[in-house]
Chain A
Amino acid sequence: MTSRIICGRNRFWEAAVSRLIRMDHTGHTELAQWSAQDEAAFGEAREALRAELDRGYFAVSSDVDGSAEQVRELPLDAELVILRRPIAGG
């Protein structure tokens, strides 16, 4: 583990815009940004989410308090939505 996380800041929640990111082999990829005032950006983010759900990803809305919720539609007021792969036992 590097020292980066020791001084890590919760940059995703400090941003003024909401973000849709996908965890992948690159670490993570930001797919879209939106804000409550920008309907066009929200629409694009929603489409991006649907495309990733169709590819088999699952979406989790993550809050700064450490809670997370499995979602199927993009919540307008979510600050950070993360796309993850399915998990399996064994």
Chain B
Amino acid sequence: MDAALVGGGGLAGPGPGSGPDGELPELASVHWRPRADARRLRRSDRLWTLSTVAHTAPFLATAIGLPLLDPVTIPVALIALAYAWFIPELYAARGAGVVREPRGRRVGAARSATAGAGREAADSRALGLLGDLVGHAARELLARTGMVLERGELGVWLVAGAGALLVRPGGRRVQCYCVHATGDELPRADRVAHLLLALRADESGFATVANLTFSGSCWRLRRRLPPPVREALRAAVAAAARGQ
């Protein structure tokens, strides 16, 4: 495998284009993970909810119990209440991070004039290809938000350059996945196209390879997202609520 492609982190090489027909070859590098499917994703959702309850319930109990024992502890109870609110917010912020551009890769990041011109030409070519890969409605959303909406068996996906959001059927819950194309610098639209093609080729394999960073209510995540991504999330929630 070309070292330039796998970069420093490098995938464990599964061999040239290998893997059973239709399956993402990258699954070989996460062979210990069970393949994601609707049942496993529901289980993940429940575990995240349980985890959130386990983190917040002690603080809530403290916030309620202390003032009942002695009103002088009200300041401590307020601090406990703040913690109970703050912890789920931290998780949501972590989830929202998957759609943020890594530093140095942001469009318009400082660079030399020559490199900048080359980069802009590459961005434009990559954007043209990505635009050709998606339908008209998705293309319009891409132009406004920089994200691609893709309907799948597991829900409605929003694909960004270094991660993806999965709005679960019904549109109330969302999962955030951290996943990216390996190797040297790619134009932003190309990084989106890499993820989109992998998702289309093997949705469940894509969800298996990607790292789940958050699962929770859409409203909790929405507040942590930049405005363009909020619009994309709104569209995905609407699509998921309509039953796709």
Same complex: yes
Contact surface of A with B, Cβ cutoff 8 Å: 1-6, 8-13, 21, 23-28, 50, 53-60, 62, 66-72, 82, 84-90
Q: Is the CB of B142 within 8 A of A1?
A: yes
- Inter-chain CA distance A56–B160, complex, in Å, is 23
By CB atoms of chain A within 10 A, which of B150, B181, B184 has the most? B181
A-B pairs with beta carbons under 8 Å apart, 29 shown: A4-B127, A4-B131, A5-B128, A6-B140, A8-B128, A13-B132, A23-B129, A23-B190, A26-B125, A27-B189, A55-B2, A56-B6, A56-B13, A57-B5, A58-B26, A60-B197, A62-B197, A68-B197, A70-B19, A70-B201, A71-B17, A72-B21, A84-B193, A85-B182, A86-B5, A87-B179, A88-B179, A89-B178, A90-B178
Assess whether A53 is in contact with B142, with CB atoms less than 8 Å apart: no
List of A residues within 8 angstroms of B150 by Cβ: 66
- Chain B residues with a Cβ closer than 8 Å to the other chain, count: 66
Query: B209 contacts the other chain (Cβ, under 8 Å)?
Result: yes
Supposing A10-B132, A60-B197, A88-B182 touch, asked if A2 and B124 sit within 8 A by C-beta, the answer is: yes
B127-146 CB contact bits vs A (8 Å, 1 = yes)? 11111111100011011101
Given contacts A86-B11, A89-B177, contact A55 B211 (CB under 8 A): no
Given that A8-B128, A56-B13 are contacting pairs, would A25 and B123 also be in contact in the complex, using a CB cutoff of 8 Å? no
Within 8 A of A (CB), among B142-177: 142-144, 146, 150, 177
- Residues of B at the A interface (CB closer than 8 Å) are 1-2, 5-6, 9, 11, 13, 16-19, 21-26, 29-30, 121-135, 139-140, 142-144, 146, 150, 177-187, 189-190, 193-195, 197-198, 200-202, 206, 209-211
- Residue on B nearest A82 in the bound complex, by CB: B197
Contact with B128, one of A4, A60, A68, A70 (Cβ below 8 angstroms): A4
A70–B142 CA distance with the chains assembled, in angstroms: 24
Q: Report yes or no: A28 in contact with B126, Cβ–Cβ below 8 A.
A: yes
A-B pairs with beta carbons under 8 A, tally? 170
Q: Which residues of A contact B133 (CB under 8 A)?
A: 62, 66
- A37 CA to B75 CA, complexed, in Å: 81
Closest to A1 in B: B143
A3 to B195, CA, bound (A): 22
| B198 x A56 contact (CB < 8 A) | no
The minimal Cβ–Cβ distance linking B26 to chain A, given in whole angstroms, is 5
Contact B5 A84 (CB under 8 A): no
CB pair A89 B187 closer than 8 Å: no
- Collect the chain B residues with CB atoms within 8 Å of residue A57's CB: 5, 17
* Inter-chain contacts of B142 with A (CB < 8 A): 1, 5
- Report the nearest A residue to B107, measured CB to CB: A1
Q: Which 9 A-B pairs have the closest CB atoms?
A: A27-B125, A5-B131, A8-B131, A89-B211, A68-B200, A56-B1, A53-B16, A56-B5, A27-B126
Given A28-B190, A67-B200, are A58 and B17 neighbors across the interface (CB < 8 Å)?
yes
Bound-state Cα–Cα, A61 to B243, Å: 28
